[in-house]
Amino acid sequence: MQNFEFSLPTKVYFGKNKITNIKNHLKDYNKILITYGGGSVKKFGIMDDVKKVLKNNDIDYEEFGGIQSNPKIKNVRKGIDFIKKNEIDFILAVGGGSVIDSSKAMACGVYSENDVWDYFTGKEEIKKAIPMGVVLTLAATGSEMNINSVLINEKTKQKMAIHSKHVLPKFAVLDPTYTMSVPPYYTACGVSDIMAHTFEQYFSWNKEAEVSDRLSESILDVCIKNGPIAYENGEDYIARSNLLWSSTLALNGLLSLGKQTDWASHKIAHELSAHYGIAHGATLSIIFPAWMEYVLTEKTRWKFDQFGRNVWGVEGKNEDVAEQSIALLRDFFESMDLPIYLEDVDVSDKKFEIMAKNIEEVYGEIGNFKKLNYKDIIKIYKIAHKR
């Protein structure tokens, strides 16, 4: 097992009516900025709950809404200006991954010397950030309890990430009822996202980190059982709560401890969001099975065998457990009406070279389970193209 360091200082408040706990974290600040996306947090009463706590405790706040999915750096810059003008000293992100990631970028971007995107390209180092908290409304991102933020630069057509302890949320309210209004398609996208986060950590050469592998299989099992239930019936509290807690555990660091992670598929998928605006979870349900097909060789078969037996319950001495596991994954995604090929979302092969080039320019080779270069990435897009 590889050496590691680990802690989870973010305070999680999980369950119905846990929103009232935010008051203890906010009382000492001058002015809170509530960040949010579209109107759904207002429509479904979540914003009312938040504001009620703030008002009841005489906590001053401003609002910054309109953060879109696949969040854009341009909008973050607007947020940074707003924060500076209004002397905001705490950000309360009410939403899913896009709102949280945008808020993280705003929180540190306030202190950037030149421009916040410089943090994403690595030109500038993040040294501090305004503190922030989260009220989560979608089981997917994991951003509520980690140091990551992913944004799109619409000019350069890049989707890139920062990783800094300074943007780790102080607290996260995880109320499963706040995720009940998520429509079926986005519920399915969330499940795909949770599973993809797990895959990026699960598919690794390291056989020694057995704890992390078993925990990853646990998260996948919970997704496979509860995903379709929440997809069919959004009001199912048990399914919603299991998915919600899985989403946080899938990307708070726990699953990668003691091993090397991959993260090639996310980079390949990010291009599809950047170029075509496809929902993150849908890019992953397309790319991950294709990636698996491509990296499956006699050398990597052991891992897919483990995946098939421990996650999908494939039994017996079949030689094609690996192939079965990939087919079962596609079937699973398809059962929740997620796209599993690019043709399902009307994406042609026109930009395969541009997207692969983009990745190569930024990262060079990607992945660890199998190192992938420009040519490999093209091949994966081709596998993902059509049936």
Which positions lie near a copy of itself, rule CB under 8 A?
Answer: 1-18, 21, 176, 208-211, 214-215, 217-219, 221-222, 225-226, 237-238, 241-242, 245-246, 249, 257-258
- Shortest CB 328 distance to a copy of itself, Å: 18
- Shortest CB 176 distance to a copy of itself, Å: 8
Q: Which pairs from 82-88 meet CB under 8 Å and 24+ separation?
A: 82/33, 83/33, 83/110, 83/130, 84/110, 86/31, 86/33, 86/62, 87/30, 87/31, 88/30, 88/31, 88/32, 88/33, 88/62, 88/130
Residue closest to 284 by CA, chosen among 380, 357, 370, 204: 380
Our CB check for a copy of itself shows the closer of 158 and 201 to be 201
Alpha carbon distance 315, 199 (integer Å): 21
Q: In degrees, to the nearest 5, what angle opens at C-alpha 362 toward C-alphas 357 and 363?
A: 100
Our CB check for a copy of itself shows the closer of 143 and 226 to be 226
- Shortest CB 165 distance to a copy of itself, Å: 11
Residue closest to 78 by CA, chosen among 106, 113, 119, 55: 106
Our CB check for a copy of itself shows the closer of 4 and 302 to be 4
- Shortest CB 12 distance to a copy of itself, Å: 4
Our CB check for a copy of itself shows the closer of 3 and 114 to be 3
Our CB check for a copy of itself shows the closer of 16 and 371 to be 16
For residue 163, the surrounding DSSP H or E stretch is strand 158-163
Query: How far is the CA of 201 from the CAs of 205, 255, 366, in angstroms?
Result: 10, 6, 14
- Shortest CB 45 distance to a copy of itself, Å: 19
- Shortest CB 306 distance to a copy of itself, Å: 13
DSSP state of 205: S
Our CB check for a copy of itself shows the closer of 7 and 114 to be 7
Which residue type occupies 172?
A
Distance, first Cα to last Cα, the chain? 39
Our CB check for a copy of itself shows the closer of 17 and 57 to be 17
- Shortest CB 103 distance to a copy of itself, Å: 20
